[in-house]
Amino acid sequence: MEIIFKHVAYSYQTHTPFQNNALEDINFEIASGSFTSIIGSTGSGKSTVLQLIDGLIEPTGGSLAVGDYYFDQMTHLKKLKNLRQKIGFIFQFAENQLFEETVEKDLMFGPLNFAVDQQHAKENARKILAVVDLPESVLRLSPLDLSGGQRRRIAIAGVLINDPQILLLDEPTVGLDPENHLELMALFKKLNQQEKTIIMVSHDMNDVAKYSDQVIVLNQGKLIKKASPEIIFADEPFLKSQQLALPDTIAFANELKKLGLKLDEPIKDEQELILAIRKQFLLRKKI
């Protein structure tokens, strides 16, 4: 499902003294099956963009299209219920939304809500655990008996069980240990390779550089740059002006360049950095 924003604006608490113009004249397109990251400093409007795509709020100006669904300020949010079925929203600290007595009941909640019968909902709950790499034995447990990382996985499984075409991720790995962090990002990458469109809000520039096809930069409610990660992270002065960090591998590659190593190709993760350094050493050996 393609996503198109045309002159989108959003204000909180409109027509009150507390009106907050969170987004202004936002224009972008997100291709079906792509991985887009949205970055920008605190309060720049990233989460508001995700809420608009999910049809949780309607724009106060302009219009947007998500697949066949078109909406503007005249649209009734109730009409977007079917759209929300096709989108999975993984909120920050998603595990805080687990509320049932058992993992199984929690996982069955979504399908039962979308009129799937008990038996199929149970079967789907069992199957989805494999996707998030958890054993079936957790089904009988209370979410409170699980570790933080496992609880996050159950919350994500509860979203994936509805087989969404678009995944909205709001800081999906925040607070996780490095191992769980890596494994979850690998899962999102795999889902993306299975044609799911991913839109991720993140403050983690390593993930943004490594996984995205496209990066959207917001600043105080305005879109100020939209480009590939290679282009975004090659512009250090721009990143500094936005208080955005360089990904570790790119920062390291820049230090190596200062020491005289020729690293001309764009580098976005450890793997590419290792290959580029190896190539330089092989070239030097030949000389």
Minimum gap (Å) between residue 76 Cβ and ligand ATP: 20
What is the rounded distance in angstroms from the CA atom of residue 32 to the CA atom of residue 2?
5
Amino acid letter, 42:
T
State the nearest-atom distance from the C-beta of 67 to ligand ATP, in Å.
Answer: 23
* CB nearer to ligand ATP: pick between 39 and 253: 39
Give the H or E element holding residue 222.
strand 222-227
140's CB contacts (< 8 A; 6+ apart) are 102, 103, 104
* Site for ligand ATP, rule CB under 6 A: 12-13, 20, 22, 40, 42-48
Q: How far is the CB of 221 from ligand ATP (least distance, A)?
A: 7
CA 51 to the chain's CA centroid = 12
- When the beta carbons of 12 and 109 are compared against ligand ATP, the nearer one is 12
Task: Give Dmax (Cα) for the chain.
Answer: 71
- What CA–CA distance (Å, rounded) separates 186 from 120? 28
Q: Which is nearer to ligand ATP, 20 or 82 (CB)?
A: 20
- What is the chain's length? 287
Reading the block at residue 65, the tokens are 């299209």
Considering beta carbons, is residue 45 or 247 the nearer one to ligand ATP?
Answer: 45
Least Å distance, CB 204 to ligand ATP, is 12
The least CB distance from residue 14 to ligand ATP, in Å, is 10
Smallest distance from the beta carbon of 203 to ligand ATP, in angstroms?
7
Are residues 73 and 17 in contact, defined by beta-carbon separation less than 8 angstroms? Answer: no
Residue 208 CB neighbours (<10 A):
25
Retrieve residue 202's tokens.
Answer: 């993140």
Query: Between residues 98 and 218, which has the closer beta carbon with respect to ligand ATP?
Result: 218
- Cα gap 31→205, rounded to integer Å: 22
